[in-house]
Chains A and B, each alone.
Chain A
């Protein structure tokens, strides 16, 4: 996260870290049920086998495991069938864990939006992750407040790339707060008045964030994929297992 700040431990209990033994943290992810995560599909490019992955929950400092930490292995990776690494549309995947997490105040799933529930432009939401900060990779989870940008306005920043309705843009014209390399798959969450948080986006792509050319970040529009997510979880829970 660029221009963010260190999070208080336990503030984002749905945030998880996708790790491989060889490389450590690779991508962010979001807990949506005791055995299910969302992340983006491009995290698995070249690493499609579930066996190479582990998922860490309830952690703030990657370098100092806490007593609230839980680790699970990956049972199934479900990439969106329309994902294409050259186009980056449909950059979303679902991960099934080998074993359910124990729900605690440090490890807790987030609510998904309903199918038609959209987040309005100019709404302020939060992004989180252990991605690049512009000058270093952090150990502690970072958070940043970003403003939702309309697709039309977002398109003006990326004239070589089509912004589709499967995407959500958030950030600032000045690029002051933005996601960065290593934040992919992490959440963009918005708070409703009753203190209820909803997952509206997954960090996907944007400018080369630690170059001087900035712009908003592009996130996966989770509302668009609700039917697909529910269908996949149903199929893998009740039909395939």
Chain B
């Protein structure tokens, strides 16, 4: 408000009386990736190029121009200057933007405008250096770079020679630094990736433990859960108590606790014992009270046809006290009716 401080929302605030709103701007955290390494964290919009938001600045022509231009090494503090006009520093006490000093603007323009001219481009309009104050003049503060200001933004890699090249060009197989330093020590880590232990394949960190195997031996999906002793890991790495495995209820979100619960296990003599996977353990089925309709049901559950043949056998003949097991032979899978998909 004209008479007081800026309230939370300038446009819709009812705290200002009618006609008493001024064009007040707010300090906001810098999110423009290009300028994340500045010695200040807050900015204020509109900026000196007329962009109304950081989003608008991020897709602007200038946002792609300056990072390209900085690669020509035309001026050490070019990126610092670019950021002072793309994301002007905001003074949190007065909620006002602080301009770059005129000398910084003039030096940037003097040294880099001619480089742009070579490729037929123009220095950005709206960067008339006279709009910026002289250092130590009129009690106005302005920004100058520190000696140790980082020349390359976080999205850039600094060559040994000092030149900045786009980080995406680091370890891409093409030398971009004149000293080839962007192609040295190129492991997964240098590229911000994770290395599969077996074949050195590099994958994104977000691909680890996401339920999708990316390394050939699926090592990126190992050790993703810390299940308790009485729990088992679902395919999507959630933990579910063992006793809920194959209990007929869906407990894993991906239903993996109810997969392959009925099987025919072949032992050394090729007998097909009916096997039930229950509470995370395989059991042969006891033949007590076994009925033929249960054989039909088991074959059906496995998607196999009939008619089933059932045998009741002793699993270990040398241990006659052992209970009898169900030996099951199902028919072939029924012939499928054709259907276009």
A interface list, Cβ under 8 A from B = 5, 8, 42, 88, 91, 131, 157-161, 173-175, 179-184, 203-209, 211-215, 217
Contacts and interface: CB of A to CB of B under 8 A. Distances in A.
Interface of B: 210-212, 254, 300, 302-303, 333-341
A98 B290 CA distance: 65
Given A8-B210, A212-B303, A207 B254 contact: no
Contact of A181 (B212, B334, B338, B341): B341
Contacts of B340: 42, 88, 91, 184, 204-205
A175 B333 CA distance: 10
A205 B340 CA distance: 4
Contacts of A217: 341
22 contacts: A5-B211, A8-B212, A88-B340, A131-B341, A157-B335, A157-B336, A158-B338, A161-B338, A173-B333, A174-B303, A175-B333, A179-B341, A181-B341, A184-B340, A184-B341, A205-B338, A206-B339, A207-B336, A207-B337, A213-B334, A213-B336, A214-B303
Given A175-B333, A181-B341, A207-B337, 11 more contacts: A5-B212, A42-B340, A157-B336, A175-B303, A179-B341, A204-B340, A205-B338, A205-B340, A205-B341, A209-B341, A213-B335
B233 to A, nearest CB: 16
Nearest to A215: B336
A204 B339 CA distance: 9
Given A5-B211, A8-B210, A8-B212, A213 B300 contact: no
A194 to B, nearest CB: 11
A163 to B, nearest CB: 11
A131 B339 CA distance: 14
Given A5-B254, A8-B210, A8-B212, A214 B341 contact: no
A206 B254 CA distance: 25
A2 to B, nearest CB: 11
B339 A205 contact: yes
A207 B337 CA distance: 5
Contacts of A209: 339, 341
Given A8-B212, A175-B303, A212-B300, A206 B333 contact: no
A207 B339 contact: yes
A188 B117 CA distance: 52
